[in-house]
Structure 1
Amino acid sequence: MSVIMTQLRATRFWLVLLILPVIASITPQSALAHFSYSDPRIIDVIEGTDGGVVVLMRLPAPLALLPSDWRGSDETRLPPFASQPNGEAVLDAAALSGDGADLRTVLGQSLTLWTGEHRNVPTVTNYQLWHDAERPRFGTVKTAIAVFEGQSGAAPIPYFDATVDVMLSFPDSDLNGPLRLETRLGDSFQVIEKFGTVVKLHRAEGTHTKAVIGPLDLSFPAATTRFGAVRDAALSGAEHIYRGLDHLALIVLIALAADGWRQALGWASAFTVGHIITLAAGLYGFAPSADWFIPLVEIGIALPIVLAGVAIFLRANSALGWVGLFAVGLIHGYGFAASAATALFAGDFDPSLLLAFAAGLELCQFAIYALVLPVILLVDRYMPMTSVSWRRAVALGIALCAVSATLSRLSATSGVFAVA
């Protein structure tokens, strides 16, 4: 079941396409905005042939054309760009003829693109109008571009059954920089709260897809090169070690318990291997999804530090061993998969980034051991008669500090299991 749920989450924008029509059929909208929210707005963001950014957008024509003060079924005005020859509002061929300057002005306000703090002004390169039942495919970049190479649907088109496809050009924008897409279209319409939008940003590194229900305001970070993505994953692995007090405490305890460099690094590597196995398992969905699982993992992260400190204090150093640390790594991996990993490995899962993360984690551990082990050896050398006692005292101190974290996490877990 957890595998199925993860696969569904990985394709969440398709769920928007499937769920919205169901919602529309169960709870029919009031006629406040006079257009259906069962079909989402579709936006493809691509690089222009001469650089810059090009946006291909499909949306209900009323959403783009109606004024913000439109009163839905209570409105007595004729909609913009409409005529009413037989009592039904249709798109007015005369109003849309010529160069369509007025229509282009309105469509140019349908989307705002920000690059950093700069607001980019679009040029309406092309547009097409269709009856909802006759519009061509718009599901891929190829089919979307083909739409603008053809002819619009035959007139007259019922106003509130019309779809408009718009091609917007932002020549001064950079596709690979940070981007933000925003629009105020339909903010005053009740229907907009249930209206879906799917945005697909197409870069050389891959396609980034986001889906939102309600007003559109989405941001995409700057693109990274392949080398940059791998480097960032490695740095994240290193940061995961030196910013985590639980990891640092465990490293110090391993250094105190080990008989030498080889044993310490072997134990550390066992921890890394276990960590990566369950991190990958969590990303692929092989983890319980119940509410109790993550709090239990949090206890499993804190409790081994207490036990390791007590074991060293009792001179049972062998209790750590590579098997025990491998098991502790397994627990830590699930903890990371449930938190920061969602940002680092968002989108299509890339195993090479996981390997880079593991390399960064391992190298940072080795760097810390390179600093800690010489200090331990120096203290042992100048305090030969008390080498065991000082190590035991430090280990016990770390264990006592970890008790508080363990009790806190145990309290949180007891709340999860509590019966109301």
Structure 2
Amino acid sequence: MRILNRSACALLAIVLAACLQAIPDRAAAHFSYSDPRVVHIIETEAGEVAILVRMPAPLALLPGDWQGAADTRMPPFGARVGDEIVLDPQTLRDEEAAFHQLLSEGLTVWSDGSPQNTTIGRTKLWHDADRPTFGTAKSASKTLDREAPQTPLPYFDTTLDVEFLIADGSLTSPLRITSDLGQNFQAMEQFGTIVKLHWDGGTETRAMIGVLDAEFEGVVAPLQRLVLIAWIGAEHIYLGFDHFAMILLIAIAAISWRQALLWASAFTIGHVVTLAAGLYGYAPQASWFIPSVELLIVLSIVAAGLAIVLKLPHVMNWPALFVVGLIHGYGFAAAASVALFAGEVDATALVAFALGLELCQLAVYLAILPIIILLDRMVTSNGLRWRMPVALVLAGAASVSVLQQLMQVTGFSVA
């Protein structure tokens, strides 16, 4: 029986480790993938369809065969100033035709199955640390009207905002936008894109990882929109390793289903509070806040995992998990503010997002708890025999994320 128990524990640890290995590693790249590419599709007062895009400037400008940090070529429109490669707005103005041609080739728009001709409207360049907000259609349009810096900017720390215009487009027709930008870049495995189509009745959203390919069927009914928003909330659970790992740690740390329910409730209440607070603007707006939240989220996973491994029951309790929930909630708010809401926060959309999130979390618990009960019965000598390896694997994976985020913030690279 002892050999069987040890074999079951080893097998569980191996399977979990294999699942974690399936998650793509962060790749060193010459553009940031911590923030998604943001696309707003709106109809202007002049009757044109405008596509407002925010993306890392290198994503739009680098050739498809660019080899990242190992590439020694001078990038397009770049210049060397001392030891730094810069992007000069004046150079882009002097070579405007080539610049606009490159941008036009990077985006294809289809309406009713037919390709549409696009023209380039406003363009702006910003340092990544100083760029204005672009999360809503209103703020994106205001950003494109603002005066941008005219001095050279670090090439690989520059954000590009672009307005594409379609003279004969319509938001009521089926619409598809595609782009093969970055398809050969390793970093695209982790790079997200949020596409939002804005119409009088609300906002329809598409989210994806990798190259851009988003389709819209036209105007959707209000109820259908709320269902889509709830589904997006659910996706933030099962597509996000960080939150899923915390749910799993709460489940295996509890000694009874009642305790698991209490802890899960404290965690849920915490992140619902800060989800709402963040969306209504009750959160610091400084550029350091979201990276700090992301770092604290993975640190909370490390702490929870070590508490299980080191048998520190006083660390895992409902007040502590309520605080951890508050931290995770601001992470959800950052994602939801980019992915869902335009202009004023729609309370019904917020409720739908939170409901989808909580229902998916409940489904995860319902799936995990029977497995935990089964393993406890198999490993009859001590439930910690299998829980500790699982917690150690999760804490180790989160530790890697901590190091990666610190390297990204500091700019340090092992390459």
> Please, what TM-score do these two structures have when normalized by structure 2?
0.49
Higher relative contact order (CA 8 A, sep 6+): 2
> Please, what TM-score do these two structures have when normalized by structure 1?
0.49
Point out the structure with max Rg over C-alpha: 1
